[in-house]
């Protein structure tokens, strides 16, 4: 009896020391939307789950969803750091300054901020080359439009969104010189009501292909109802519009989250300005609809391969803006730093960037 | 048959008992809810309601959250007392943030001691102006104050979005919709090292006492109370309803404007499109939870701040989804406001009367 309890005790001790030796890496995530948004935050959460699946009990993850980008963000990030997280991903632009502030107070914690431009000793940034996905989207839209008018539902006039509009339009123009683009700004990342209104307004104006830089499937559903076509954004949205859905460009964060957690565990992490796209499989094309014409399907694969291999680089000069200024010189390809500052529309977009 | 009957006089017992009944009902509901999703109800309730006050950091953050809620709620309490249905605290807060930030950015390279006071005054005046337009429209053209103040919330939001995308945008901010970070001369001083508790919170608590003083100790406050309780009587007594309306609206607008400018010059430190997660709307709940009494508003604002923080902590510590947390909070507020119904009403059993 005594021996038994002693053995049990030893076992517990051994177990405890093993647990200590392999203390899991605690990883926190801050999401701007609900994980059920089926877009941006949803995909970040799939990335988190991917991280857990990969490392098993070597990581322990926590997330906070629906965090407003005002004064609350700093508190939530602080509380995650206080709760013992070693690595914290803040997944929206508005978390940039709060992340920098909290990082200063928790120098031993590693922070990674999505889509921002401020870095420090313990803050790295990561961003998607969404414009690569847009290029394939633009080529497809240019081929498929019968009214030569494609519609774009845009969120906020920040460089990422403007860059994507340009990439889409240049791609569409490369296959259809007559193509026109109409843009509606909804000033939100996620607002199914406004997105539906914008989709209907665009379709009323002769648009037959919808592209969105917002996160809800509402525009796809609106297109499905009226027999038009649309693309899925951020996640695979094919199930919302079986007929209308052309393909989805998916944000696939897991590979990045795994590589960063791995670097933190090994002690090799350093703050970087990371850009990932097709090549890194951080951005993927999902569920190409089988009802597309064969030539369009072929062109999608071809364009995807060309962008992935680097044969097509969308922002290679000469590019003129829509006021006639040469913004990218012949032969030059925009660097990542330059890409982060795009604040012009390419030639042919008959619209103004809202200021 | 059970019927609802208005009491001839408010029940003093129910005044005290109603929040207690509400809390008991909420605890029962919460236990069922958290058990249903497989979480320990005692731990969940502890994290939701007690953890936000468990250490000095959390208390500080609770106060930071309380500040804007309280500033807006004090003003709204007076408005609602005077039957001015101002739903526009959110817009007035945003206008204050915008006006104050414009002045703060003017002082971006200045160390002048006047920078902060002028910034705060600009915020207060902007909030007052934003409240003045719907007030004028109501008094002059008898327009519906509820509708105009709601519309002014949207106008303020879009004006703010326009400003951060345009004239107030940080020229070195890569085109992102945020202003530059304000100079130290325009930031509200924090009261304790390592905490975000700032001067604005003292303003908020002070505002609560000023509101209480006006309402209970001054002739003006007496007029407001009479006006709210019995408008014809107030008119008969010769009270100037226009003057009262202007006073409560400008008071509320100024406080909401101060809340806005105190957020931008306090915990946020710059103008962004996301200054307020709906403080102006939540303040309506705070005002009613505080029974339209400025001191009650202090208690209610603390309570709401605890609830919001507990929601985040429940996600961090227990992995409770935000939807479940919101449901719990909604039910709690519902019970609190619903139980207040029994202060002025009661159930009676009409069967007894029928048989008698």
Work out the pLDDT band at B341, boundaries 50, 70, 90.
Answer: confident
**Tokens 């936000």 label which residue?**
B52
Q: Does A217 share its domain with A169?
A: yes
pLDDT at site A355 = 67
Give all strands (DSSP E) within A118-213, no chain letters: 123-128, 149-154, 180-185, 209-212
**Testing the interface with A: which of B55, B188, B316, B325 to mutate, by most A Cβ within 10 A?**
B316
Closest Cα of chain A to B170: distance in Å?
Answer: 12
Assess whether A290 and A142 both reside in one domain: yes
C-beta of residue B307 within 8 angstroms of C-beta of residue B329? yes
Query: Which residues of chain B are within 8 Å of residue A162 when distances are taken between CB atoms?
Result: 175
Average pLDDT, chain B: 91
Give the whole-angstrom CA distance, residue B312 versus residue A76: 7
CB contact under 8 A, A117 and B174: yes
Tell me: pLDDT of A112 over 80. yes
Cα torsion angle, A47, A51, A56, A58, sign: negative
Q: Is residue A177 part of a domain?
A: yes
**How far, in Å, CA of A275 to CA of A116, rounded?**
11
pLDDT, position A22: 67
- The percent of residues in chain B predicted with pLDDT above 90, rounded, is 63
Please list, in sequence order, all residues whose beta carbon lies within 8 angstroms of the beta carbon of residue A49, skipping any fewer than 6 positions away. Answer: A254
Q: Cβ contacts (< 8 Å) between B194 and chain A: which residues?
A: 105
pLDDT recorded at residue B13: 85
Same domain, A224 and A334: yes
Full-model pTM: 0.86
Phi, psi of B140 (to 5 degrees): -85, -45
Q: Do the domain assignments include residue A206?
A: yes
Give B66-93 pLDDT, tens digit per residue: 999 999 999 999 999 999 999 999 999 9
Residue A162 and residue A311 in one domain: yes
Domain total of chain A: 2
Q: Which of A190, A204, A199, A208 has its CA nearest to residue A153?
A: A199
| Range of the structural domain that residue B242 is part of | 68-318
Cβ-nearest to B166 among A35, A79, A355: A355
Do A185 and A155 form a contact (C-beta atoms < 8 A)? yes
Nearest CA among A200, A195, A130 for reference residue A166: A130
* CB atoms inside a 10 Å sphere around CB A208: 21
Residue in A65, A75, A354 closest to B165 by CB:
A354
Q: Does B277 touch chain A (CB under 8 A)?
A: yes
Q: Is residue A289 part of a domain?
A: yes
- pLDDT value, residue B1: 75
* Ramachandran class of A288: left when φ > 0, alpha when ψ lies in -120 to 50, beta otherwise: beta
- Which chain B positions have a beta carbon within 8 Å of A78's beta carbon? 57, 61
Please report whether residue B28 resides in a domain: no
- Give yes or no for residue B351 having a pLDDT over 80: no
- Nearest CA-CA distance, residue A66 and chain B, Å: 7
Select from A45, A67, A71 the residue whose CB has the most chain B CBs within 10 Å, as the one to mutate to test that interface. A71
**How far is Cα B334 from Cα B344, in angstroms, rounded to an integer?**
17
B247-256 residues labelled b (16+ CB within 10 A) or e (exposed): bbbbbbbbbb
Instruction: Show residues of chain B in contact with A342, CB under 8 Å.
Output: 175
Residue B261 near chain A (CB below 8 Å) = no
Looking at the partner chain, which of A68, A74, A79 has a beta carbon nearest the beta carbon of B267? A74
**pLDDT score of B202:** 95
Note the pLDDT tens digit of each residue in A115-149: 888 999 999 999 999 999 999 999 999 999 999 99
| SS3 category, A145 | coil
A186 and A42: one domain?
no
Residue B352: CB atoms within 10 Å: 9
Q: Tell me what the mean pLDDT of segment B215-221 comes to.
A: 93
Residue at which a domain ends, from A68, A103, A128: A128
Q: For chain B, how many structural domains are there in total?
A: 1
Chain B residues with beta carbon closer than 8 angstroms to that of A74: 196, 267
Q: Is residue A205 part of a domain?
A: yes
Residues A96 and A218 in one domain: no
| Assigned domain for B293 exists | yes
A56 and A202 housed in the same domain? no
Angle, helices B279-289 vs B89-106, to 10°: value is 130
pLDDT band at residue A188 using 50, 70 and 90 as cut-offs: confident
| A185 in a structural domain | yes
- Spatial distance between the Cα atoms of B335 and B225, rounded to a whole number of angstroms: 26
**Residue B73's CATH number:** 1.10.3470
| Pairing mode of beta strands A25-30, A59-64 | parallel
pLDDT of residue B209: 96
B319 to A62: CB separation less than 8 angstroms, yes or no: yes
Same domain, A183 and A310: yes
Q: Which residues contact B286 (CB under 8 A, 6 or more apart)?
A: B69, B70, B72, B73, B76, B297, B300, B301, B304
B54 lies within 8 A of chain A by CB: no
* Cα–chain center distance at B170: 30
Best probe of the A interface among B65, B200, B279, B315, by most A CBs < 10 A, is: B315
State yes or no: pLDDT of A17 exceeds 50: no
A203 and A333 part of one domain = yes
pLDDT band at B117 (very low <50, low <70, confident <90, very high): very high
- Domain range for A30 is 17-128
Which of B161, B176, B312 has the CB atom closest to A76's CB atom? Answer: B312
Q: Does B322 touch chain A (CB under 8 A)?
A: yes
How is residue A292 written in tokens?
Answer: 């597309």
Enumerate the residues of chain A whose CB falls inside 8 A of the CB of residue B274. Answer: 68-70, 94
Contact (Cβ atoms closer than 8 angstroms) between residue A113 and residue A125 = yes
The answer as to whether A223 is a domain residue is yes
Q: Give burial (CB, 10 Å; 0-12/13-18/19+) of A304.
A: buried
Residue B154 has pLDDT above 60, yes or no: yes
| Whether the Cβ atoms of residue B328 and residue B48 lie closer than 8 Å to each other | yes
| A145 and A71 in a common domain | no
Phi-psi region of A310 (alpha: psi -120 to 50; beta: other; left: phi over 0): left
Closest CA to A231 of A250, A256, A211, A207: A211
User: pLDDT, tens digit, for every residue of B276-303?
Assistant: 999 999 999 999 989 899 999 999 999 9
Residue that finishes a domain, picked among A128, A152, A182: A128
User: Could you tell me if B275 lies within 8 Å of chain A, comparing CB atoms?
Assistant: yes
Assess B313–A contact: CB distance below 8 Å, yes or no. Answer: yes
Q: Give dist(CA B334, CA B337) in Å, integer.
A: 5
Residue B195 forms contact with A (CB below 8 Å)? no
**B73 within some domain:** yes
Interface test with A, best of B266, B274, B279, B324 (most A CBs within 10 A): B274
Instruction: Supply the CATH number for residue A41's domain.
Output: 3.40.50.2300
Residue percentage of chain A with pLDDT more than 90: 80
In a domain, A270, yes or no: no
Residues of A in Cβ contact (< 8 Å) with B57: 78, 82
In whole angstroms, what is the distance from residue B305 CA to residue B321 CA? 19
Q: Best residue in B267, B275, B276 to probe A by mutation, most A CBs within 10 Å?
A: B267
What is the number of CB-based contacts under 8 A between chain A and chain B?
Answer: 95
| Cβ-defined contact of B175 to A34 (cutoff 8 Å) | no
More confident residue, A231 or B9: A231
Q: Is the pLDDT of residue A11 over 70?
A: no
Return the pLDDT at B172. Answer: 83
User: Pick from A68, A62, A64, A75: which is nearest to A102 by CA?
Assistant: A75
The reply to whether A329 falls in a domain is: yes
- Distance of residue B155 Cα from the nearest chain A Cα, in angstroms: 13
Query: A45 and A151 in one domain?
Result: no
pLDDT digits (tens, 9 = 90+) for A288-345: 999 999 999 999 999 999 999 999 999 998 999 999 999 999 999 999 989 988 989 9
Tokens of B293: 């009494």
Q: Check if B323 contacts A (Cβ < 8 Å).
A: yes
Q: Identify all chain A residues contacting B277, using CB atoms and an 8 Å cutoff.
A: 68, 70, 72
**Mean pLDDT of the residues in chain A:** 91
Which residue in A26, A30, A33, A70 has the most chain B C-beta atoms within 10 A of its own C-beta, making it the best mutation to test that interface?
Answer: A70
Say yes or no: A44 and A64 in one domain.
Answer: yes
A270 has pLDDT over 90: yes
Q: Which long-range contacts (CB under 8 A, 24 or more apart) does B168-171 make?
A: B168/B98, B168/B101, B168/B102, B168/B105, B168/B271, B170/B270
Query: Has residue B125 got a pLDDT over 60?
Result: yes
pLDDT digits (tens, 9 = 90+) for A32-80: 988 887 788 999 999 999 999 999 999 999 999 999 888 999 999 999 9
Residue A340 is classified by DSSP as: T
Q: B248 vs B53, B77, B255, B266, CA distance in Å? A: 33, 9, 11, 26
Nearest CA distance, B72 vs chain A (angstrom): 16
- A167 phi and psi angles, rounded to 5 deg: -60, -45
- Of the CA atoms within 13 Å of residue B62, those in its CB half-sphere come to 26
pLDDT at B356 over 70: no
pLDDT of amino acid B23: 84
């Amino acid at each position: 009896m005594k021996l038994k309890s002693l053995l049990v005790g030893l076992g517990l001790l051994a177990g405890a020391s093993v647990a200590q030796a392999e203390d899991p890496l605690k990883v926190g995530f801050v999401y701007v939307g609900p994980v059920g948004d089926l877009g941006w935050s949803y995909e970040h959460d799939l990335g988190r789950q991917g991280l857990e699946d990969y490392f098993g009990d070597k990581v322990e993850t926590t997330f906070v969803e629906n965090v407003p980008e005002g004064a609350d963000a700093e508190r939530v990030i602080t509380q995650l750091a206080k709760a013992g997280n070693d690595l914290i991903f803040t997944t929206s632009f508005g978390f940039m300054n709060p992340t920098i502030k909290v990082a200063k107070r928790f120098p031993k914690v590693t922070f990674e901020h999505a889509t921002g431009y401020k870095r420090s000793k313990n803050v790295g940034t990561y961003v998607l080359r969404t414009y690569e996905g847009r290029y394939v989207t633009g080529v497809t839209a240019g081929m498929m439009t019968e009214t030569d008018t494609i519609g774009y539902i845009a969120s906020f006039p920040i460089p990422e969104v403007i860059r994507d509009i340009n990439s889409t339009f240049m791609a569409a123009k490369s296959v259809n010189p007559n193509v026109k683009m109409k843009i509606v700004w909804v000033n939100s990342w996620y607002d199914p009501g406004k997105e539906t209104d914008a989709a209907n307004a665009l379709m009323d104006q002769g648009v037959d292909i919808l592209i969105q830089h917002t996160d809800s499937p509402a525009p796809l559903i609106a297109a499905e109802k009226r027999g038009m076509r649309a693309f899925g954004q951020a996640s695979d949205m094919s199930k919302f519009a079986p007929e209308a859905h052309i393909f989805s460009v998916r944000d696939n964060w897991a590979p990045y989250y795994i590589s960063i957690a791995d670097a933190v565990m090994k002690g090799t992490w350093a703050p970087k300005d990371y850009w990932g796209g097709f090549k890194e499989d951080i951005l993927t094309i999902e569920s190409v609809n089988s009802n597309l014409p064969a030539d369009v399907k072929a062109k999608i694969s071809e364009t995807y391969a060309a962008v992935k291999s680097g044969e097509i680089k969308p922002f290679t000069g000469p590019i003129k803006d829509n006021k006639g200024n040469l913004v990218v010189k012949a032969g030059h390809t925009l660097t990542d730093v330059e890409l982060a500052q795009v604040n012009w529309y390419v030639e042919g977009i008959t619209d103004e960037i809202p200021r | 048959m059970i019927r609802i009957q208005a009491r001839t006089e408010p029940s003093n017992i129910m005044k005290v008992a109603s929040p207690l009944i509400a809390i008991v009902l909420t605890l029962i509901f919460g236990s069922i809810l958290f058990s249903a999703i497989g979480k320990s109800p005692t731990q969940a309730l502890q994290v939701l309601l007690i953890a936000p006050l468990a250490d000095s950091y959390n208390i500080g953050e609770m106060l930071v959250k309380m500040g804007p809620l309280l500033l807006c709620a004090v003003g709204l309490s007076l408005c609602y007392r005077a039957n001015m249905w101002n739903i526009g605290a959110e817009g007035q807060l945003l206008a204050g943030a915008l006006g104050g930030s414009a002045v703060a950015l003017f002082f971006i390279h200045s160390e002048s001691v006047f920078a902060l006071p002028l910034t705060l005054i600009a915020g207060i005046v902007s909030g007052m102006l934003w409240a003045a337009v719907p007030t004028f429209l109501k008094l002059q053209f008898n327009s519906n104050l509820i509708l105009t103040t709601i519309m002014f919330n949207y106008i303020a939001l879009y004006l703010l979005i326009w400003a951060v995308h345009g004239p107030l945008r940080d020229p070195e901010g890569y085109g992102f919709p945020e202003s530059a970070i304000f100079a130290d001369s325009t930031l509200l001083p924090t009261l304790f090292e390592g905490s975000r508790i700032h001067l604005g919170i003292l303003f908020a608590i002070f505002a609560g006492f000023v509101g209480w003083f006006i309402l209970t100790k001054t002739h003006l406050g007496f007029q407001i109370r009479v006006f709210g309780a019995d408008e014809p009587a107030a008119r008969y007594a010769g009270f100037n309803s226009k003057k009262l309306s202007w006073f409560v609206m400008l008071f509320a607008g100024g406080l909401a404007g101060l809340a806005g400018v105190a957020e931008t010059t306090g915990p946020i430190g710059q103008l962004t499109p996301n200054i307020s997660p709906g403080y102006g709307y939540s303040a309506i709940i705070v005002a009613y939870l505080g029974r339209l009494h400025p001191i009650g508003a202090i208690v209610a604002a603390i309570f709401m701040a605890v609830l919001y923080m507990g929601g985040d902590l429940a996600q961090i510590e227990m992995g409770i989804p935000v939807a479940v947390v919101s449901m719990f909070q909604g039910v709690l507020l519902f019970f609190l406001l619903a139980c207040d119904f029994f202060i002025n009403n009661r159930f009676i059993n009409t069967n007894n009367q029928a048989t008698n």
